[in-house]
Structure 1
């Protein structure tokens, strides 16, 4: 069985896919693509969209964390989803919410910052092991603005994301309290949601409002301790509990 996963370094959905592959024990190869240049590379390889995670599994092209979890579930039943029908339905619902509503939040915030902050672009270039990071930061400013526009990372939308973040974290904590995620063995929804919490914890202003929550413990257990990213938003946009 052959599996190749295409990723970019800062992508938390790609991280979720890596963790799922590791969890089911499928031997695989990871190809890290340069951020910003990954869409044409993926399309050249026959993928319909220029987004990660993208996986080739025995010649089959699969994109998106939910599609990847379903493909792995076909090969490794019981590894990512409960065998009980009702329990599985709850995990599927949490996973779908995690991909549809929760996963885009750190992406929009991060791209909003990249479109405006050369230091953040330089840090991303260094994280991606690209040469001449400061030069890359200047050269990629138009590309960063385009990628922000593609996900709707406007001032208004990012402000809304930050305003609604406490209730989204409350929902994550509820899933944990109800046993949908956070059990002894992680499921597909754990990987989907924990990687998004982990991405949010990388933002220094947001970490204080997450650190003491059950969601933070889940992120640390499933993913690991988050490293800081040079991401700052206007203080007046921050919800209660964030670092001003």
Structure 2
């Protein structure tokens, strides 16, 4: 039994872009690594059938792009680029055909409508503003993750603000803030994953190397704290970043 999957990469050294690789389950090996799209810094991607939505950079421009998988290659359909660094994350909304991006450097969350042919149209953008954490890396808001809750709201992790913001999303791709969950100062909120029951989320702090367990209230779209767990020993003093 073989299984193919895609890998997004940084391209500052030897990598050339987006790759496919085959997992051979019988031999427990990764095989047949091949470049499917030459691209600058496609660091994160979402595959939906034969479509791929990926972070895109072109020199001093950054944004998102859509690709079509065909005959072992990924063909560019559309890209939306703007001045500055590319996003850190892309999330896809199958029901509403929306693409979300979180831009670490700009502190922005951007929404795009995905047409049936894969082309992209921006529908909204919010810029995080407010007090940031005490760590050197928290010099400004840094949106790092933007993806759906089980009830189809949008949860955004902001590493700079130690914050999870939940947005209501309209069918035409407009965001309205529903709630804000504030972690401890210096937590460095980076990423979250929901439990299959849809009522609990696990939030990872990059700068603190801690994991928070949160209860999710679908009626209000809000989080409440249950538990905080360290991922490193209490006497650890060297640098560590949780991802």
**Greater RCO, CA 8 A, separation 6+:** 1
- Tell me the TM-score range normalised by the shorter chain: under 0.3
Normalised by the size of structure 1, how large is the TM-score? Answer: 0.26
Which structure's residues are more often helix, by fraction? 1
Hey, which of these two has a bigger chunk of strand by percent?
2
TM-score normalised to structure 2 length: 0.26
